[in-house]
């Protein structure tokens, strides 16, 4: 009995928080499952939305991830923010054009932490973060090819050209493409 | 002047002893205890640690129960398993293709053992597989030398 | 006066801390020095970049479970768990109760052995070889239990897999774990003994305030050592952690010693969790019924961000599925990513060079999950 009451209380708390968030951020916030909220925002509003979320208690920038939707021709950026106060994860998603991947940096809020996350996104997907002074290579040294995590980057072809040892029969199986 | 020096020296020594008493000899007592303990290691070639039954080691293949479904080759994350034909002298008895394991690529995850419907490909506990020659890492379905 | 000026002129130089194993792990820090003082530190990651996020796009979930061990060498079972939970959610698997308890027991054992390694490398970094040897020795008792249960000492090869665990606990495994606990307790007491050399190296070194810790994205012992009592196991419970009783140790000082103390106290809490979990361990299945080794991932659609409390802090998997055999996109958040790049660069600015290894190891780093 008590557990169900607790659960009801929790859900009503979450609903109240969603309403509050939606009115403050001016966007509809959705519930995915317990303690997981998500919202779609416009890419031009990313800094102000993040700042409002930060002021509402979403202080921890967990990570920034990029998904390459090749057919749509868009990059989807997801900012995962956790609130130590409300104990809720808010995922802010925004889509940017794949050909002109430019979005403003949020280093004014999270400092070097955000800058490092953005550096990784820049290196792996080629997304340019406006206002980030430090978009230097992070993991890859002397990388000449295109950003490696892009969906249309044919890494098999690239490796075959660059480093494949033709004489070694044991490496053959890795280059057989079945699709 | 000499007496003064001695005085300073003894006071410093007293301070040092005081500090050492405060340390409660925590780690130092451990050192003396370890003098009378058995070592944690064993003298390897003569003495061996018992290897548990589940330990993932070298493959064992039973060709008579194999149905050549090829699911082990499909699930192998490292593509270490290749379906090959039996040597010519055994082709009449074993006409299908059988898994050949390259232990040099194998990561010993035992997914092939899990997926095998007949239980013919299993992992033994044998782990002493270090070799000087890269070509010896292949495990063929029929070990010709052994049969001879 | 002239001599000091000269000293400064000679003293400006840059040098590398690492990458050398086991001095700093596979991770380097480029430091600009002025005499003995560090002017600027630049982290140099990438020596362990294996591109797991891309690799996982080409493999099926069961194969990814095997791959997820390798994200971090020192806590493979916990990374197994994060991956398995992400697939469980996307596939709507109902994980059996027994499997959940086994997962928790193994994750906590993994946390303890990881903390032992932390103590070992901290000792090594500050020149206390006895601590290193004793700690690595006691860690091997835990690895023996892993070998008994999962079949591998270090790498479980996806023992915690989507839908449960791959095999049930072997006979007498529970007794073995209970017998292990006194040994862990002995090691814990050994670590707890106050060592003046240790205090001198870690006290008031690398102080990270509460606000900075939150801003830089610190998690785990680093965050709790700075006075924030946040733990994913408590705040965002997964598996059966909401049914178990345990405390969250917090320290307010924010220096290297506080972080280390939090870690050592966590060993005790993990032992509490293990005893409770073994007491309550139910009987039954350990895997979703009718689950074959191949996960039918074509049925999965959607995305999930799964967070777990690893021994180093918050580890997370962001997985997107769009009805293909393999995940469409996987993003791994390693806890050391924010510790080793922004926080380390910040803390190393302006310290003496002798403090560099102390700060470096007190941040509980793992280069493997920085680079992934």
Domain boundaries, chain C: 4-44, 52-371
Please give the residue of chain B at the shortest CA–CA distance from A178: B74
Q: pLDDT, tens digit, for every residue of B106-139?
A: 888 888 888 888 888 888 888 888 888 877 888 8
Mean predicted lDDT score pLDDT of chain B: 79
Residue B24 has pLDDT above 80, yes or no: no
HSE-CB at C244 with a 13 A cutoff on CA atoms is: 28
One domain for residues B68 and B128: yes
DSSP C161: E
A100 touches chain B (CB under 8 A): no
The answer to whether the bond into B94 is cis (omega within 30° of 0) is no
> Does any domain span residue B42?
no
Q: Comparing A164 with C88, which gets the higher pLDDT?
A: C88
Residues C171-184: pLDDT tens digits?
888 888 888 888 88
Q: 3-state DSSP call for residue B94?
A: coil
Question: What local confidence, expressed as pLDDT, does residue B56 receive?
Answer: 86
* Average pLDDT, integer, range B16-25: 60
Residue C20 DSSP class: B
In chain B, which residue's Cα lies nearest the Cα of C173?
B52
Predicted pLDDT of residue C1: 37
* C52-371, CATH topology level: Cytochrome-c3 Hydrogenase; chain B (1.10.645)
Count: domains in chain B: 2
Distance from CA of B67 to the nearest CA of A (A): 23
Could you tell me the two tokens for C187?
A: 């090691």
Q: Is B30 on the interface with C (CB under 8 A)?
A: yes
Residue B84 shares a structural domain with residue B137: yes
In a domain, B46, yes or no: no
| pLDDT at C3 (0 to 100) | 42
- Domain identity same for B33 and B64: no
How far apart are alpha carbons C350 and C208 in whole angstroms? 14
Q: What is the pLDDT of residue B20?
A: 60
For chain C, the average pLDDT equals: 84
Interface test with A, best of B105, B106, B136 (most A CBs within 10 A): B105
With a cut of 50, which residues of chain A have pLDDT below it?
1, 179
Min distance C349 CA to chain B CA atoms (Å): 33
- The residue-averaged pLDDT of C200-227 equals 86
Is residue B23 located within the same domain as residue B71?
Answer: no
Residues B140 and B79 in one domain: yes
In the predicted model, is pLDDT for residue C21 greater than 80?
no
> DSSP strand E in chain A: where?
29-33, 36-40, 60-69, 74-83, 88-97, 102-104, 128-130
Whole-model pTM over 0.95:
no
> Residue C145 to residues B124, C108, C151, C156: CA-CA distances in angstroms?
19, 13, 9, 11
Among C151, C162, C158, which Cα is nearest to C286's? C162
Q: Tell me, what's the ipTM?
A: 0.83
Q: Round to whole Å and give the CA distance between A55 and A41.
A: 17
pLDDT band at B22 (very low <50, low <70, confident <90, very high): low
Contact C311/C220 with Cβ under 8 angstroms?
yes
* Cβ-Cβ contacts under 8 Å, C45 against chain A: 138-139
- Distances in whole angstroms, Cα of residue C275 to Cα of each of C98, C111, C231: 15, 15, 20
The reply to whether B20 and B73 lie within a common domain is no
Task: Check: CB of residue C210 under 8 Å from CB of residue C228.
Answer: yes
Angle at which helices C173-192 and C97-125 pack, to 10 degrees? 30
Same domain, B94 and B142: yes
For C42, residues 6+ apart whose C-beta sits below 8 A from its C-beta are C29, C30, C31, C345
Residue A88 and residue C307 in contact, taking contact as beta carbons nearer than 8 Å: no
**SS3 state of residue B104:** coil
Is residue B118 classed exposed, middle or buried when 0-12, 13-18 and 19+ CB atoms within 10 A define those classes?
exposed
Query: Do B19 and B79 belong together in one domain?
Result: no
Q: Which candidate in C27, C49, C208, C217 is best for mutational testing of the A interface (most A CBs within 10 A)? A: C217
Taking the CA of residue A11 as centre, how many other CA atoms within 13 Å lie in the half-sphere pointing to its CB? 7
Report the first-to-last Cα separation within chain C, whole angstroms. 50
Per-residue pLDDT averaged across C29-46, rounded?
A: 84
Token digits for C12?
A: 């400006």
Q: C7 pLDDT exceeds 70?
A: no
Q: What are the pLDDT digits (tens) for C130-181?
A: 778 888 888 888 888 888 888 888 888 888 888 888 888 888 888 888 888 8
B33 and B63 both lie in a single domain: no
Put simply, the answer to whether C66 touches B107 (Cβ < 8 Å) is: yes
Same domain? For B70 and B100 the reply is yes
Domain for residue B52, yes or no? no
| pLDDT for residue C367 is more than 60 | yes
pLDDT at B26 over 80: no
User: C152 to chain B: which residues are within 8 Å by CB?
Assistant: 55-56, 108
Model pLDDT, residue B146: 54
- Do A112 and C45 count as a contact with CB atoms less than 8 A apart? no
Alpha carbon distance C304, C306 (integer Å): 6
CA distance A159 to chain B (A): 17
Residue B49 lies in a domain: no
Confidence at residue B3, expressed as pLDDT on a 0 to 100 scale: 67
> Which chains are adjacent to chain B, needing at least 3 Cβ pairs under 8 Å?
A, C
Interface test with chain C among A33, A60, A151, by most C beta carbons within 10 Å: A60
pLDDT category at C4 given cuts 50, 70, 90 is very low
**Any idea what the CATH number is for the domain that residue B129 is in?**
3.30.70.3270
Q: Identify the pLDDT of residue B145.
A: 56
Q: How far apart are CA C284 and CA C287, in angstroms?
A: 9
CB of B117 less than 8 A from some CB of C: no
Q: How far is CA B132 from CA A155, A171, C208, in A?
A: 32, 20, 50
Mutate to test the interface with B, among C57, C66, C143, C198 (most CBs of B within 10 A): C66
* Nearest residue of chain A to residue B101 (CA atoms): A170
Report CB contact under 8 Å: A63, C49: no
Segment C289-294 shows an average pLDDT of 64
Secondary structure of C189-233 as H, E, C letters: HHHHCCCHHHHHHHCCCCCCCHHHHHHCCCCHHHHHCCCCCCCHH
Using the Cβ of B31 and the Cβ atoms of chain C, whether some distance falls under 8 Å is answered with yes
Band of pLDDT at residue C35, cut at 50, 70 and 90: confident
Residues in C closer than 8 angstroms to A113, CB to CB, are 215-217, 338, 342
Q: Are residues B32 and B63 in the same domain?
A: no
Q: Exposure of C40 by Cβ count < 10 A (0-12 exposed, 13-18 middle, 19+ buried)? A: middle
Residue with tokens 């979990």: C277
pLDDT of residue C290: 61
Q: Is B69 on the interface with C (CB under 8 A)?
A: no
Pick from C60, C134, C151: which is nearest to B54 by CB?
C151
Range of the domain at B66: 59-147
Under DSSP, the state recorded for B101 is E
Q: Is residue B25 located within the same domain as residue B94?
A: no
Taking residues C2-14, report their average pLDDT.
Answer: 57
């Amino acid at each position: 009995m008590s557990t169900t009451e607790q659960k009801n209380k929790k859900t009503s708390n979450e609903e109240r928080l969603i309403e509050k968030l939606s009115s403050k951020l001016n966007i509809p916030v959705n519930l995915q499952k317990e303690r997981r909220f998500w919202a779609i925002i416009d890419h031009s509003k990313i800094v102000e939305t993040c700042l409002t979320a930060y002021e509402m208690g979403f202080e921890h920038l967990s990570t920034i991830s990029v998904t390459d939707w090749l057919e749509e021709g868009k990059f989807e950026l997801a900012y995962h923010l956790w609130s130590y106060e409300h104990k809720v994860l808010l995922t802010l998603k925004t889509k940017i054009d794949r050909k002109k991947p430019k979005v403003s940096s949020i280093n004014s809020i999270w400092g070097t932490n955000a800058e490092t996350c953005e550096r990784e996104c820049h290196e792996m997907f080629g997304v340019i973060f406006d206002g980030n002074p430090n978009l230097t290579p992070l993991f890859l040294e002397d990388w000449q090819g295109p950003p490696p995590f892009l969906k249309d980057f044919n890494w098999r072809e690239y490796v075959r050209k660059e480093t494949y040892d033709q004489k070694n029969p044991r490496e053959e199986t890795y280059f057989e493409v079945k699709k | 002047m000499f007496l003064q020096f001695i005085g300073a020296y003894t006071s410093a020594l007293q301070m040092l002893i005081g500090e050492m008493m405060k340390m409660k000899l925590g780690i130092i007592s451990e050192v003396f205890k370890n003098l009378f303990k058995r070592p944690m290691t064993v003298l390897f070639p003569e003495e061996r640690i018992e290897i548990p039954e589940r330990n993932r080691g070298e493959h064992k293949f039973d060709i008579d129960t194999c149905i050549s479904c090829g699911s082990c080759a499909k699930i192998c994350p490292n593509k270490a398993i290749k379906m090959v034909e039996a040597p010519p002298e055994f082709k009449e008895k074993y006409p299908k293709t059988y898994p050949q394991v390259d232990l040099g690529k194998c990561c010993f995850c035992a997914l092939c053992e899990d997926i095998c419907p007949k239980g013919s490909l299993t992992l033994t506990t044998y782990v002493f597989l270090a070799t000087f020659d890269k070509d010896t890492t292949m495990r063929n379905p029929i070990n010709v030398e052994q049969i001879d | 006066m002239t001599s000091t000026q000269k000293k400064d002129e000679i003293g400006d130089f840059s040098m590398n801390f690492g990458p050398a194993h086991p001095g700093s792990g596979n991770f380097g820090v480029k430091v600009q020095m002025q005499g003995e003082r560090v002017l600027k530190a630049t982290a140099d990651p990438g020596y362990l970049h294996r591109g797991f996020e891309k690799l996982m796009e080409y493999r099926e979930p069961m194969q990814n479970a095997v791959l997820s061990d390798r994200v971090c060498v020192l806590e493979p079972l916990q990374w197994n768990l994060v991956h398995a939970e992400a697939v469980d959610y996307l596939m709507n698997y109902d994980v059996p109760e027994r499997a959940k308890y086994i997962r928790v027991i193994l994750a906590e054992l993994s946390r303890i052995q990881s903390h032992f390694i932390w103590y070992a490398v901290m000792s090594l970094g500050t020149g206390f070889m006895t601590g290193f040897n004793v700690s690595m020795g006691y860690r091997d008792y835990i690895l023996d239990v892993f070998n008994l249960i999962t079949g591998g000492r270090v790498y479980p090869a996806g023992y915690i897999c989507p839908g449960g665990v791959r095999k049930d606990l072997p006979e007498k495994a529970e007794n073995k774990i209970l017998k292990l606990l006194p040994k862990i307790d002995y090691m814990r007491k050994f670590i707890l003994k106050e060592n003046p050399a240790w205090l001198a190296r870690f006290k008031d070194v690398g102080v990270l305030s509460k606000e900075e810790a939150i801003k830089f994205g610190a998690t785990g012992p680093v965050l709790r050592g700075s006075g924030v009592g946040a733990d994913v196991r408590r705040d965002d419970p997964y598996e059966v952690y909401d049914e178990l009783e345990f405390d969250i140790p917090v320290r307010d000082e924010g220096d290297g010693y506080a972080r280390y103390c939090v870690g050592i106290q966590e060993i005790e809490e993990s032992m509490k969790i293990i005893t409770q979990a073994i007491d309550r361990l139910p009987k039954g299945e350990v895997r979703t019924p009718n689950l074959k080794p191949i996960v039918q991932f074509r049925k999965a659609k959607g995305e999930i961000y799964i967070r777990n409390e690893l021994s180093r802090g918050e580890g997370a998997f962001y997985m997107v599925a769009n009805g293909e055999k393999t995940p469409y996109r996987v993003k791994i958040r390693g806890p050391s990513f924010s510790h080793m790049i922004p926080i380390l660069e910040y803390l190393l600015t302006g310290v003496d060079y002798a403090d560099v290894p102390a700060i470096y190891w007190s941040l509980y780093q793992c280069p493997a999950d920085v680079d992934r």
